[in-house]
Amino acid sequence: MSDYAKLSPKQLRALMRNGHYTQPTAGLALGYAQANLVILKQELAFDFLLFCQRNAQACPVLEVLEPGCFEAKFLAPGSDLRTDLPRYRVFRDGVLMSEPLDITALWRGDFVSFLLGCSFSFEAALVEQSLEVRHISEGRNVPMYVTNIPCREAGVFSGPLVVSMRPFAARDVAKAVQITGRYRAVHGAPVHIGDPAALGIKDIARPDMGEAVTVHAGELPVFWACGCTPQAVVMQSKPDLVITHAPGHMFVTDLRDKDLETIGGMV
Amino acid sequence: MSDYAKLSPKQLRALMRNGHYTQPTAGLALGYAQANLVILKQELAFDFLLFCQRNAQACPVLEVLEPGCFEAKFLAPGSDLRTDLPRYRVFRDGVLMSEPLDITALWRGDFVSFLLGCSFSFEAALVEQSLEVRHISEGRNVPMYVTNIPCREAGVFSGPLVVSMRPFAARDVAKAVQITGRYRAVHGAPVHIGDPAALGIKDIARPDMGEAVTVHAGELPVFWACGCTPQAVVMQSKPDLVITHAPGHMFVTDLRDKDLETIGGMV
């Protein structure tokens, strides 16, 4: 991972475009924002954008592309959303059908692409302030859980909140809250601290997406709203065709994380 | 104005519903959020919501209603957007046609209503911290100006940024920036401080909307992104039918301004 960490977002996207990098992106291009991807048909675009507005902590919109457009002109000029992520997920009628490395063959002229903020953006800030981010130090994908908290509905879209989890020592939890609270454009402060059962999580060692990480004695699991929420919502709402990034396999943008500290909820 | 200032949002909306209050709403129900209103046909709703996302400082979305719905269930349960504002504006093909007190007769089943944050929300915080808000102390509507700054386009919508202006003594400007910067859901920090000409404003004494206020010697005009921006955009983009609040005649909600300090860009 360490060699890749030194590459620029543009270099990384080129590797992904050619299928040479197909792994999770945590820890890559530290200092640059990564984004969740949701692609759906234009007829669903208003409902989904409204869903994002109503669930902004889980779905902070960084960029929405014009129908048919696959270049993220604001976040990454010259990019191609059909090829520049390491791995995608294709959902048909709410069922995960495949996890391709490229979606060029599936592209349609009426697709609208949404790029949502990702918690990886505040991880650089946590690390800078001497907090260990467990899944980075263990070289794993961040653990994610489907909770029992319903999102606010919008049109055809409804479903549960998905959270990501990072464990911190009791003395460091407040620091983690304060640091991430400054990043409102990328999920902001945690939604829950401690007891996983209160979120309906049965076994912290068995995440619904991503990979488990070690939680040491004396540490609390800290939960942030997660940009994989739309995937759980798609599974429940069952639109005929939706494409997303594969969990942890994000779109690496040219936007600096630092810029997200001042731009509030949205660009 | 002072008698009205003591009424609750619900009491004020009832007065407006019955046509007994038809004036600007600055200084009313201090401590409660007021909102800009934009109503348009469902076919334009995605473009407009995207416009708001792309111009979030001018158009911070607080609530979007389902098509045909006129009760703001989140911001003001029991409200009726067709009657509960003191005055409306009706635009046809981008031209301001009338300023009625009630739009019940114009209502359509395919109307989508948008409620956007309003700078009045941070005025209570300014006053609390001993800053004089000129248009409140002079009993006028806030002065608003159409600038030479283009908004980011979205679909059919394009046009200039509109700003509101409050003058402050040079020693108080930084304080005004810091206080309002905490209210990102309602325009946040100023977009411009000082020289009106740099925004294309020819005469500070002749605002495009609202009323002029006194700017004393030693004071700087301070400009915030304004929720009347959609009105200037409608005039340029010319959709066939749009209804808005009349400038300064806002929707008074049940949401406390204090809540806006922590909710970031959106609810």
Between vectors from CA B126 to CA B123 and to CA B128, what angle results, nearest 5°?
110
Confidence category of residue B125, pLDDT binned at 50, 70, 90 = confident
pLDDT (0 to 100) of residue B4 = 83
User: Do both B105 and B150 map to the same domain?
Assistant: no
Q: Is the CB of A66 inside 8 Å of chain B's CB atoms? A: yes
Give the tokens for residue A146: 């489907």
Q: Are A247 and A210 in contact (CB under 8 A)?
A: yes
Measure A225 CA to nearest chain B CA, in Å.
14
Residue A261 maps to a domain: no
CATH code of the domain in which B34 resides: 3.40.1640.10
The mean pLDDT of chain B is 93
Put simply, the answer to whether A266 touches B45 (Cβ < 8 Å) is no
User: Do both B198 and B111 map to the same domain?
Assistant: no
Residue A8 maps to a domain: yes
Confidence category of residue B22, pLDDT binned at 50, 70, 90 = very high
Put simply, the answer to whether A264 touches B56 (Cβ < 8 Å) is yes
Residue A264 maps to a domain: no
CATH code of the domain in which A145 resides: 3.30.2040.10
**Cα B200 to Cα B147: distance, rounded to the nearest angstrom:** 6
User: Do both B86 and B27 map to the same domain?
Assistant: yes
pTM for the predicted model, two decimal places = 0.86
User: Do both A139 and A242 map to the same domain?
Assistant: no
Q: Is the CB of B260 inside 8 Å of chain A's CB atoms? A: no
Which residues of chain A neighbour B185 with C-beta distances below 8 Å? Answer: 265
pLDDT (0 to 100) of residue A262 = 61
Q: Are A112 and A42 in contact (CB under 8 A)?
A: yes
Residues 6+ apart with CB under 8 A from B171: none
The pair phi, psi for residue B73, each rounded to 5°, is -65, -30
Q: Is the CB of B56 inside 8 Å of chain A's CB atoms? A: yes
User: Total structural domains in chain B?
Assistant: 2
User: Do both B79 and B36 map to the same domain?
Assistant: yes
Q: Are B37 and B113 in contact (CB under 8 A)?
A: yes
**How far, CA to CA in Å, does B19 sit from each of B12, B13, B22, B23, B210?**
11, 10, 7, 10, 21
**Cα A108 to Cα A41: distance, rounded to the nearest angstrom:** 8
**Cα B89 to Cα B96: distance, rounded to the nearest angstrom:** 7
Over residues B192-230, the pLDDT tens digits come to: 999 999 999 999 999 999 999 999 999 999 999 999 999
User: Do both B83 and B178 map to the same domain?
Assistant: no
**Cα B191 to Cα B103: distance, rounded to the nearest angstrom:** 33
pLDDT (0 to 100) of residue A27 = 82
Which residues of chain B neighbour A54 with C-beta distances below 8 Å? Answer: 64, 267
Residue A230 maps to a domain: no
User: Do both A6 and A112 map to the same domain?
Assistant: yes
Candidate from B45, B155, B264 with C-beta closest to A265: B264
Q: Is the CB of B49 inside 8 Å of chain A's CB atoms? A: yes
**Cα A154 to Cα B116: distance, rounded to the nearest angstrom:** 18
pLDDT (0 to 100) of residue A120 = 87
**Cα A167 to Cα A213: distance, rounded to the nearest angstrom:** 8
pLDDT (0 to 100) of residue A15 = 95
Measure A168 CA to nearest chain B CA, in Å.
23
Rg (C-alpha) for chain B, rounded Å, is: 17
When pLDDT is averaged across residues B167-186 and rounded to a whole number, the result is 91
Q: Is the CB of B185 inside 8 Å of chain A's CB atoms? A: yes
Q: Which chain B residue's Cα is nearest to A54?
A: B267
The yes-or-no verdict on residue B265 having pLDDT over 50 is no
User: Do both A198 and A245 map to the same domain?
Assistant: no
Domain hosting B21: range is 2-118+238-262
pLDDT (0 to 100) of residue A257 = 86
Q: Is the CB of B50 inside 8 Å of chain A's CB atoms? A: yes
User: Do both B131 and B214 map to the same domain?
Assistant: yes
Measure B131 CA to nearest chain A CA, in Å.
24
- The least confident of B177-186, B220-229, B243-252 is B177-186
Percent of chain B topping pLDDT 70:
97
In the predicted model, residues of chain A with pLDDT beneath 70 are 1-2, 262-267
Over residues B37-88, the pLDDT tens digits come to: 999 999 999 999 999 999 999 999 999 999 999 999 999 999 999 999 999 9
pLDDT (0 to 100) of residue B183 = 86
Over residues A120-145, the pLDDT tens digits come to: 888 988 998 999 999 999 999 999 99
Over residues B228-240, the pLDDT tens digits come to: 999 999 999 999 9
Which residues of chain A neighbour B66 with C-beta distances below 8 Å? Answer: 155
Residue B267 maps to a domain: no
User: Do both B22 and B112 map to the same domain?
Assistant: yes
Give the tokens for residue B37: 């209103």
Q: Is the CB of B14 inside 8 Å of chain A's CB atoms? A: no
Q: Scanning the structure block, which residue is given the tokens 């908290």?
A: A149
pLDDT (0 to 100) of residue B1 = 46
Cβ-Cβ pairs closer than 8 A, A with B, add up to 56
Over residues B84-112, the pLDDT tens digits come to: 999 999 999 999 999 999 999 999 999 99
User: Do both A73 and A128 map to the same domain?
Assistant: no
pLDDT (0 to 100) of residue A259 = 82
Which residues of chain B neighbour A61 with C-beta distances below 8 Å? Answer: 53
Residue A144 maps to a domain: yes
Q: Using CB atoms and an 8 Å cut-off, which of residues 137-176 of chain B contact chain A? A: 155
Helix (H, G, I), strand (E, B) or coil at B162: strand
Put simply, the answer to whether A61 touches B46 (Cβ < 8 Å) is no
Q: Are B112 and B40 in contact (CB under 8 A)?
A: yes
pLDDT (0 to 100) of residue B262 = 61
Chain A interface, best mutation among B113, B261, B266, by max A CB count within 10 A: B266
Helices in chain A by DSSP H: which ranges? 2-5, 9-17, 45-54, 120-128, 134-137, 173-181, 229-237, 257-262
Residue A82 maps to a domain: yes
User: Do both B127 and B87 map to the same domain?
Assistant: no
Residues 6+ apart with CB under 8 A from A197: none
Put simply, the answer to whether A49 touches B54 (Cβ < 8 Å) is no
Q: Scanning the structure block, which residue is given the tokens 């991807």?
A: A37
**Alpha carbon B112 to chain centroid distance?**
18
Confidence category of residue B30, pLDDT binned at 50, 70, 90 = confident
Which residues of chain A neighbour B53 with C-beta distances below 8 Å? Answer: 49, 61, 64, 266-267
pLDDT (0 to 100) of residue A263 = 55
Residue A266 maps to a domain: no
pLDDT (0 to 100) of residue B124 = 84
